[in-house]
Amino acid sequence: DAGVTQSPTHLIKTRGQQVTLRCSPISGHKSVSWYQQVLGQGPQFIFQYYEKEERGRGNFPDRFSARQFPNYSSELNVNALLLGDSALYLCASSLGSVRTEAFFGQGTRLTVV
């Protein structure tokens, strides 16, 4: 069975640009969460979507947005990129919205120059 897949694996963008990251959850999983992992730190929660609705939002600015599609895949959008947005962006999928194991993808490494 395919695990969580994320695309692209690496990305380089310029300050001020916009970026879209994509995630396909494990088949049958309805919840997708996004995390930002800055070098040397643990992942920080950005969003959770369940059944196409936002169920949780972390402490991130409005430049960050996400959505979930009918097939449960998800996109994370970041506008007006800053140098500080450079990080590994991780997507996690789980069966339900709460208290279930979360399985992570390999991540998208975003570098803002």
Partner 1 sequence: GEDVEQSLFLSVREGDSSVINCTYTDSSSTYLYWYKQEPGAGLQLLTYIFSNMDMKQDQRLTVLLNKKDKHLSLRIADTQTGDSAIYFCAESKEGSQGNLIFGKGTKLSVKP
73-87 burial by CB neighbour count: b if 16+ within 10 A, else e? Answer: bbbbebeebeeebbb
* Minimum separation from the CB atom of position 16 to partner 1 (A): 27
The DSSP element (H or E) to which 103 belongs, if any, is strand 103-104
Q: In what order do the strands lie in the sheet with 74-78?
A: 5-7, 19-24, 74-78, 64-68
Q: Is 25 in the site for partner 1 (CB under 8 A)?
A: no
Token pair of 11, please?
A: 């990305």
- What is the spatial distance between Cα 56 and Cα 3, in angstroms, rounded to a whole number? 23
**Of these, 13, 30, 52, 55, which contacts partner 1 (CB under 8 A)?**
55
Can you tell me which of 45, 52, 60, 86 binds partner 1, judged by CB under 8 A? 45
**Residue 106 Cβ vs partner 1, minimum distance, rounded to whole Å:** 4
Identified binder of partner 1 from the candidate list 44, 65, 73, 79, rule CB under 8 A = 44
Tell me 25's DSSP state: P
Residue type, 45: F
What would the x/- binding string for partner 1 be over residues 73 to 112, using CB under 8 A? Answer: -----------------x-x-x-xxxxxxxxxxxx-x---
> Which residues of this chain interact with partner 1, rule CB under 8 A?
4, 6, 31, 33, 35, 40-45, 48, 50, 55-56, 58, 90, 92, 94, 96-107, 109
